Chains A and B, each alone.
Chain A
Amino acid sequence: MSYEAKLRVWRGDADGGDLQDYTVTVNEGEVVLDVIHRLQATQAGDLAVRWNCKAGKCGSCSAEINGRPRLMCLTRMGDFQEDQVVTITPMRTFPVIRDLVTDVSFNYEKAAAIPPFTPKPREKDGTYRMQQIDVERSQEFRKCIECFLCQDTCHVIRDHEDNMPAFSGPRFLMRIAELDMHPLDTVDRKEFAQEQAGLGMCNITKCCTEVCPEGIHITDNALIPLKERVVDKKYDPLTWLGNTIRRRTP
């Protein structure tokens, strides 16, 4: 059942590096992360890799496997031919720290910039009442495990590093959508989405949705509705009129 797999793993740091060839034993049912761990334990003790749960729940072991952004813990070795070389490289969009580990601080900065959740007051009995159907839309986005594969694959920043200051990426545009659809939240983030998070730069090519290991419909359920809401607010003549009249009221 076991076989010797040919692996090419990117080794190096911010100053440069290259792909190195390894031959590692693979057992039935194993995933790429198992093989990386075996490589670490037997041949390359200092091979840098992030991981936590090894069950697709924490989103730590993101990498590019044969060029495709994936979680190493959810990529089965059985998906490849036994004689096929499996190439594992770090996420390309983020600066390399070492080997397969990248500096993902961009994401934490974008998260911190979003105006925080601000709820309306509780009901008189101390509870919040919400219907299941009303919480489900935001719940879908809260399934996000922050693996940042959608950020990695998004061509707005993958191919144009200079866009990073002006663009938050699909993960955090989705977070804005989540708050926008949250039944209790009271803050309007539409202008923030457009002006600060770069919503307009997204041209809905759905690459983010395709790589999401949680199967969240990022484009259809978060980004497009958010764009529609922003447009409604911006161009709806009634909204404009309402705002203008209200502004006149002393």
Chain B
Amino acid sequence: MTDLHNYDVVVVGAGGAGLRAAIEAHDQGARVAVVCKSLLGKAHTVMAEGGIAAAMGNLYPEDNWRVHFRDTMRGGKMLNHWRMAQLHAQEAPDRVRELEDWGALFDRTKDGLISQRDFGGHRFARLAHVGDRTGLELIRTLQQRAVALGIDVYMEHTITRLLTGPDGAISGAFGYRRVDGEFVAWQAPSVILATGGIGKSYVVTSNSWEYTGDGHSLALQAGASLVNMEFVQFHPTGMVWPISVKGILITESVRGEGGVLKNSEGRRFMFDYIPEFFRAETADTEEEADRWYDDHANNRRPPELLPRDEVARAINAEVKAGRGSPHGGVFLDIASRRSAEDIKRRLPSMYHQFKELAEVDITVEAMEVGPTCHYVMGGVEVDPESQAALVPGLFAAGEVSGGMHGSNRLGGNSLSDLLVFGKRAGTAAATHAKASMAASITQEALADAEQAALRPFEEKSGDNPYAVWHALQAAMNELVGIIRNADEVERALATIEELKAKKLSVTGGRAYNPGWHLALDLPNMLRVSECIAKAALERQESRGGHTRDEFPKPDAEWGKLNLICTLNDDRSGIALTRKPLPVMPPELAEIFEETL
């Protein structure tokens, strides 16, 4: 039997985007439920460290939305949906300010305003932050606001299916309660996906267990489309040692605060990897780069602060050339650049993390770092104003949506994305619900969803889901990683097909059974992995978070195309289509002609 609830708007996910959407939908008068896989306040947003990008101009009055828009588009190698990038740059400052109304306490400037820090790809110091734990501040603020408003939160519930009516529009969502394994369904005309990313398909990742591509997969199955799935961001600086912590994030703020990358010969190698596209705005001597920290007006940015895709590829190349650190990374040195006191004050989490997990004192020694799967630029194809997907009543915000970041996301643009588009999705979902008839889910649909969820218990001779998961992670990590080629991606696709065919068996009962939970997450991971691999094979160029060995340069024709993933006709796999990029209006295109 399934417990049934009625709401206007159901938000799937309780990270920054989900909570911001829920607050907005509530403020618009909708009855809102938030459904999340973990306890409230544990979502992956807590791991964001550096800050929220917003052109508030608190430190550099010459900063404004046009500069932020330009940085974002260039960082994404112009593949971003221009309208999303524009709305994001215009609305981010207000979204940051309202967090203060709800209790957030950002670090301050001398004038008492919200302080802003430098980050890769941003022309001005732009990231509102709290030390290096900005994500925690964001989630706690939104969590406390949602609790104060009395919004219903269904913690430790996992959605396994979106339900649609005969007209194809959303009628609700179905899932299970982790605590006892019982089924729950929410009838609602609007569902907002805010489920985050896909990192758990890779071995080395900064992502938490929740990042199994649920929202991407749910959207596909409901009839929506995904865009830009080949673009996966490998953050340049993950921990590499000890093995057990490999992939855990080291914030870009280390470089924003003056940290530099060195190879085994002690050389600041990033000066060797300045691409033509960014040459005019990047320092070419160590002296100029070091002066920039105090004087942005008369010096250019250090190459350590190039966009993440550039830095990750450079580190990869140094390690391949035999100039890596003992454990296969490179060195990130802040110890010789800033005082111990400054490091502890500005980067307290990093200090703590290395002390606890690696027994390294970052005020004395350099860190060993290497790329880690961090973020998927691709996601549900949405309308830029409303975040509406192709399926009526379905919305997506945050990492699960696509288009905003193009082929590569700038650091700091994720937290602002969550807030700007979380709010927009909340408004649109509430409006849609008001205009809709009451949703209704049929008993047949519930019975079918229940049966599908229980299948792993009935399968007696299937594979161990943990083993299948590890095989997928290995294939994606090795074959569809930071540098790709056709042979390897084809091999990954063959592995994915093999794994898709496997039947899964689980032991134990329905109450809080992680083996069962994994068995239900796995088809989602396989589906998004297939999207990533198929799109990566199709796109014959290198751009942002997609690098093809055989096609090392960006291609002007590919620069006009998006790749769209949908379920194929028999729903057994992914179909790919090419779609022209939306064209930027002339008044925005002008911004790229302006000299800096």
A55 adjacent to B514 (CB under 8 Å): no
User: Which residues of A118-175 are within 8 A (CB) of B?
Assistant: 119, 122, 126-132, 135, 138-139, 142-143, 145-146
Interface string of B135-150 (1 = CB under 8 A from A): 0110010001001100
The 8 Å CB contact of B107, one of A51, A54, A59, A132, is: A132
A129 adjacent to B113 (CB under 8 Å): yes
B105 adjacent to A48 (CB under 8 Å): no
User: With an 8 A cutoff between CB atoms, is B472 at the interface?
Assistant: no
Give CA–CA (A56, B239) in the complex, Å.
14
The 8 Å CB contact of A55, one of B100, B249, B511, is: B249
Kindly name the residue among A27, A40, A51, A128 whose own CB sees the greatest number of chain B CB atoms within 10 A. Answer: A128
User: With an 8 A cutoff between CB atoms, is B209 at the interface?
Assistant: yes
B148 adjacent to A116 (CB under 8 Å): yes
The 8 Å CB contact of B358, one of A29, A52, A214, is: A29
User: Which residues of chain A have C-beta atoms less than 8 A from B140's C-beta?
Assistant: 142
User: Which residues of chain B have C-beta atoms less than 8 A from A129's C-beta?
Assistant: 111-113
The 8 Å CB contact of A143, one of B133, B147, B506, B508, is: B133
User: With an 8 A cutoff between CB atoms, is B551 at the interface?
Assistant: no
B179 adjacent to A146 (CB under 8 Å): no
B148 adjacent to A143 (CB under 8 Å): no
B357 adjacent to A55 (CB under 8 Å): yes
Interface string of A160-201 (1 = CB under 8 A from B): 000000000000000000010010110000000000000000
Interface string of B107-137 (1 = CB under 8 A from A): 1100111110000000000000011010011
A48 adjacent to B513 (CB under 8 Å): yes
- Report if A60-B243 is in contact (Cβ < 8 Å); known contacts: A41-B466, A132-B108: no
Q: How far apart are B125's CB and chain A's nearest CB, in angstroms? A: 16
A128 adjacent to B353 (CB under 8 Å): no
Binds A, one of B38-46, B158-166, B270-278, B395-403: B38-46
Smallest Cβ-Cβ distance to B516: which chain A residue: A46
User: With an 8 A cutoff between CB atoms, is B62 at the interface?
Assistant: no
B148 adjacent to A146 (CB under 8 Å): no
The 8 Å CB contact of B38, one of A40, A60, A108, A215, is: A60
- Report if A34-B244 is in contact (Cβ < 8 Å); known contacts: A56-B353, A117-B102: yes
User: With an 8 A cutoff between CB atoms, is A204 at the interface?
Assistant: no
User: Which residues of chain A have C-beta atoms less than 8 A from B179's C-beta?
Assistant: 97, 103
Give CA–CA (A142, B107) in the complex, Å.
12
The 8 Å CB contact of A46, one of B136, B470, B515, is: B515
User: Which residues of chain B have C-beta atoms less than 8 A from A30's C-beta?
Assistant: 242-244
User: Which residues of chain A have C-beta atoms less than 8 A from B357's C-beta?
Assistant: 31, 55-56, 74, 76
B241 adjacent to A131 (CB under 8 Å): no
User: Which residues of A18-34 are within 8 A (CB) of B?
Assistant: 27-31, 34
Chain B interface residue number, banded: 35 or more
User: Which residues of chain B have C-beta atoms less than 8 A from A143's C-beta?
Assistant: 133, 136
Give CA–CA (A98, B516) in the complex, Å.
14
User: With an 8 A cutoff between CB atoms, is A224 at the interface?
Assistant: no
Smallest Cβ-Cβ distance to B133: which chain A residue: A143
The 8 Å CB contact of B112, one of A28, A31, A130, A145, is: A130
User: With an 8 A cutoff between CB atoms, is B307 at the interface?
Assistant: no
A60 adjacent to B42 (CB under 8 Å): yes
- Report if A138-B41 is in contact (Cβ < 8 Å); known contacts: A117-B144, A127-B97, A184-B100: no
Q: How far apart are B414's CB and chain A's nearest CB, in angstroms? A: 16
A55 adjacent to B515 (CB under 8 Å): no
User: Which residues of chain A have C-beta atoms less than 8 A from B470's C-beta?
Assistant: 41
Give CA–CA (A31, B248) in the complex, Å.
14
A130 adjacent to B103 (CB under 8 Å): no
B508 adjacent to A45 (CB under 8 Å): yes
A52 adjacent to B513 (CB under 8 Å): no
User: With an 8 A cutoff between CB atoms, is A57 at the interface?
Assistant: yes
- Report if A57-B464 is in contact (Cβ < 8 Å); known contacts: A130-B112, A182-B103: no
B40 adjacent to A31 (CB under 8 Å): no
User: With an 8 A cutoff between CB atoms, is B8 at the interface?
Assistant: no
Q: How far apart are B117's CB and chain A's nearest CB, in angstroms? A: 14
User: Which residues of chain B have C-beta atoms less than 8 A from A202's C-beta?
Assistant: none
Give CA–CA (A117, B44) in the complex, Å.
24
- Report if A46-B130 is in contact (Cβ < 8 Å); known contacts: A28-B243, A97-B179: no
Kindly name the residue among A30, A45, A50, A74 whose own CB sees the greatest number of chain B CB atoms within 10 A. Answer: A45
Interface string of B494-513 (1 = CB under 8 A from A): 00000000000011110111
Q: How far apart are B277's CB and chain A's nearest CB, in angstroms? A: 33
The 8 Å CB contact of B512, one of A45, A54, A98, is: A98
A46 adjacent to B44 (CB under 8 Å): no
B243 adjacent to A54 (CB under 8 Å): no
User: Which residues of chain A have C-beta atoms less than 8 A from B341's C-beta?
Assistant: none
User: Which residues of chain B have C-beta atoms less than 8 A from A112's C-beta?
Assistant: 147
B148 adjacent to A45 (CB under 8 Å): no
Give CA–CA (A99, B511) in the complex, Å.
11
A48 adjacent to B147 (CB under 8 Å): no
A46 adjacent to B508 (CB under 8 Å): yes
Smallest Cβ-Cβ distance to B509: which chain A residue: A46
Give CA–CA (A138, B113) in the complex, Å.
17
B105 adjacent to A98 (CB under 8 Å): no
A116 adjacent to B144 (CB under 8 Å): yes
User: With an 8 A cutoff between CB atoms, is A101 at the interface?
Assistant: yes
User: With an 8 A cutoff between CB atoms, is A49 at the interface?
Assistant: yes
- Report if A74-B356 is in contact (Cβ < 8 Å); known contacts: A13-B511, A46-B516: yes
B130 adjacent to A53 (CB under 8 Å): no
User: Which residues of chain A have C-beta atoms less than 8 A from B147's C-beta?
Assistant: 111-112, 116
B352 adjacent to A56 (CB under 8 Å): yes
Q: Can you list the 9 inter-chain pairs with the closest CB atoms, starting with the nearest? A: A29-B242, A46-B508, A45-B515, A129-B112, A116-B148, A117-B103, A41-B466, A48-B512, A98-B512
Q: What is the interface of chain B, defined by CB distance below 8 A to chain A?
A: 38-44, 46-47, 97, 100-103, 105-108, 111-115, 130-131, 133, 136-137, 140, 144, 147-148, 155, 179, 208-210, 241-245, 248-249, 349, 352-353, 356-358, 464-467, 470, 506-509, 511-516
Given contacts A45-B465, A131-B112, 14 further A-B contacts (CB under 8 A): A30-B243, A31-B357, A45-B513, A48-B511, A52-B43, A53-B44, A57-B46, A57-B47, A98-B511, A98-B512, A111-B147, A119-B103, A126-B97, A184-B100
Q: What is the interface of chain A, defined by CB distance below 8 A to chain B?
A: 13, 27-31, 34, 40-42, 45-60, 74, 76, 97-99, 101, 103-104, 108, 111-112, 116-117, 119, 122, 126-132, 135, 138-139, 142-143, 145-146, 179, 182, 184-185, 214-215
What are 7 inter-chain pairs, A to B, with CB distance below 8 A? A30-B243, A40-B515, A53-B47, A112-B147, A117-B102, A117-B144, A185-B103
